[in-house]
Structure 1
Amino acid sequence: MKIALWLSLFIVFYAFFGYGILLFILIKIKRAVKGKPVPPIVDLVSMPSCTLIVAAYNEEDFIIEKIKNTLALNYPAGKVDFVFVTDGSTDSTPELVAAYPQIKLMHKEGRSGKIAAVHRAMDTVTTDVVVFTDANTFLNTDALIKICRHYADPEIGAVAGEKRVHADETADATAGEGFYWKYESKLKTWDAELHTVVGAAGELFSIRTNLYRPVPVNTILDDFMISLLVAGDGYRVIYEPEAYATENGSESVGEELKRKIRIAAGGIQSIVWLKSLLNPFKQPVLTFQYVSHRVLRWTVVPFLMILSVILNMIIVTSGYNSLLYELLLLGQVMFYMMSLLGWILETRQIKIKILFIPYYFCMMNYAVIRGIFRYMAGRQSAVWEKAKRK
């Protein structure tokens, strides 16, 4: 039981923190040998042609602001196209987009899901590069330039931008979410420097058009799948933090939980469908990064968190007198009590942000368990009902 306890705690620690520490060490070693990588020089003349695709569903509250943000993006004239796909929208989103002739509107009645809409848009793309972004996120002015400059390197098949969560003083539900994405951004930066990013976020990512492989229409995490297929084909996926998409945090932790459960279900689906990436003999570094950064979190970690508490309690109550195990159990109990207190305060709209980090951490792992069982039961639709945001 002691071995199982320490192994469980090690895997949990490694998946969320140990891998980051190991990455940091590996990056330091790589820089000592090869030097720190230098960002590519921006050459506007040789920039690839680019298409920006926005899939929007009933986004009338945001779409005008999104259009203005899109048209304000810097990129060489004549080298960029804008495509908005509004399949199934029943509000005024298509009409609002149609008022801007600079944007190509693709609309049809009936809702087949985001990825089906993206596939339809991709059939019309003729540019070198395609960039995907969400309708409720807003890009920095130089985002397209910062992304597309990387395609001068033929080894790079995709570029992921940074997701930023805007949180104001009242954004209690996003205290943990914002911290999580800042940490994830650092991990992705190191992942890319070591070899490749393992999965891009749909808020902002791009690929070479000729590398696009249509994923099944029942894919839950299409952005994750598309970018990992590029990595699986032997290309690198780069992370570009100077190209970022900003969005408001979820309206409540309940809305964020809904989103996390869907992501977890999609994570299990992706692991099943991309099982070839688990073969360390094909691309060992990619497999190492994929398992360390994604697979452990989406499979065994939540269950090992529960197991470690149970084993620790059994050891302490079995008469084994050890201050170490008693302190370890106390630490685990205190952590979960902080999480519980964070939940209680959130339901009463009392905002102590320091408690939302353990609460958000536990909520994420609870969502993984829910997502696993939802996927196994076949109850997770690929047609996403978006979370409400502030």
Structure 2
Amino acid sequence: MSSEFIKQIVTGFNYIVFYYVLAINTIYFMQLIMSAFGLYDYIRKMHYSDYKKYTTSVNMIPISVLVPAYNEENTIVDNIKSLLALNYPSFEVIVINDGSQDNTFHKIVEAYNLKEISQPVRHLIKTKSVKGIYKNLDIPNLILVDKENGGKADALNVGINISKYPVFTTIDADSILESDSLVRVIMPFIEDHLTVAVGGIVRIANGSKIKDG
């Protein structure tokens, strides 16, 4: 094999790599431009939208907030308080105790004076066994589910089985939501009936001072 032939192969390979990298970077650049326009549109809507008027509207889609909890005794009571204070006309908070080894379950029961109730559980999704369901009639939109440990995904599936509303959202037991978060989450579903899922922006609150949830 002559050196000239090898040189042609190397040159051809370099051209292939060059055009490949050029194509990839062009696609990334186009995605960046499209994202910039999308972000601008989102910021514009956020700036001009009056979300407060939606917090009391009876036409808003009800939401189930699913909170899987495992060994969260240090924060769970305050986080539930924060969730119950969300500005939204119709929602339920379903806390799923995933077989915690600490006092997570007992702290929730004591803090919110929950009592075990008899409630049938749909088995749309196969999960670990549910030990009990707890409620307080004075806090009708709070539900505590005690179940065998099965992991976060299994806990969320239990929450889906128990939820009664058409849309559900999930949040970790050591996280908090802004007061109008549910309104912001539901708006894409109202604006476009083809919407199947939405996400939020996660920020680190370490070192921040949080007042009243």
Report TM bin, short chain: 0.5 to 0.7
Taking a change above 3 Å as real, the CA distance of residues 90 and 149 of structure 1, as seen in their structure-2 partners, is same
Match in the other structure for 1:95: 106
Cα offset, 1:73, TM superposition: 1.0
CA contact (8 A) 1:41 1:149 kept: no
CA distance in 2, matches of 1:87, 1:27: 38
Taking a change above 3 Å as real, the CA distance of residues 30 and 87 of structure 1, as seen in their structure-2 partners, is closer
Cα offset, 1:24, TM superposition: 2.9
Taking a change above 3 Å as real, the CA distance of residues 23 and 50 of structure 1, as seen in their structure-2 partners, is same
Matched AA of 1:141:
S
In the alignment, structure 1 residue 140 sits paired with structure 2 residue 178: yes
Matched AA of 2:61:
P
1:211-250 to structure 2, matched below 5 A, reads: none
In the alignment, structure 1 residue 164 sits paired with structure 2 residue 203: yes
CA contact (8 A) 2:63 2:169 kept: yes
The one-character-per-residue Cα deviations of 1:359-384 (angstroms, maximum 9, x if unpaired) are: xxxxxxxxxxxxxxxxxxxxxxxxxx
CA distance in 1, matches of 2:91, 2:38: 36
Cα offset, 1:139, TM superposition: 0.9
Q: Which has the higher helix share?
A: 1
SS at match of 1:163: coil
Point out where structure 2 has 5 or more consecutive residues left out of the alignment. Answer: 1-9, 113-135, 208-213
Point out where structure 1 has 5 or more consecutive residues left out of the alignment. Answer: 169-390
Q: Which has the higher strand share?
A: 2
Match in the other structure for 1:55: 68
Alignment counterpart, residue 78 of structure 2, candidates 65, 68, 87: 65
1:14-93 to structure 2, matched below 5 A, reads: 14=25, 19=28, 21-26=29-34, 36=41, 39=45, 42=51, 43=54, 44-76=57-89, 79-93=90-104
CA contact (8 A) 2:94 2:163 kept: no
Q: Give % identity.
A: 27
**How large is the Cα RMSD of the aligned pairs?**
3.4
CA contact (8 A) 2:64 2:165 kept: yes
Instruction: Return the structure number with greater relative CO, CA threshold 8 A, min gap 6.
Output: 2
Matched AA of 1:63:
I
CA contact (8 A) 2:70 2:100 kept: yes
Higher Rg of the two aligned structures: 2
CA contact (8 A) 1:84 1:97 kept: no
Aligned length: 158
TM-score of the superposed pair, with normalisation by structure 2: 0.62
1:116-155 to structure 2, matched below 5 A, reads: 116-152=154-190, 153-155=192-194
Taking a change above 3 Å as real, the CA distance of residues 24 and 113 of structure 1, as seen in their structure-2 partners, is same
SS at match of 2:58: helix
1:257-268 to structure 2, matched below 5 A, reads: none
CA distance in 2, matches of 1:88, 1:60: 12
CA distance in 2, matches of 1:82, 1:139: 13
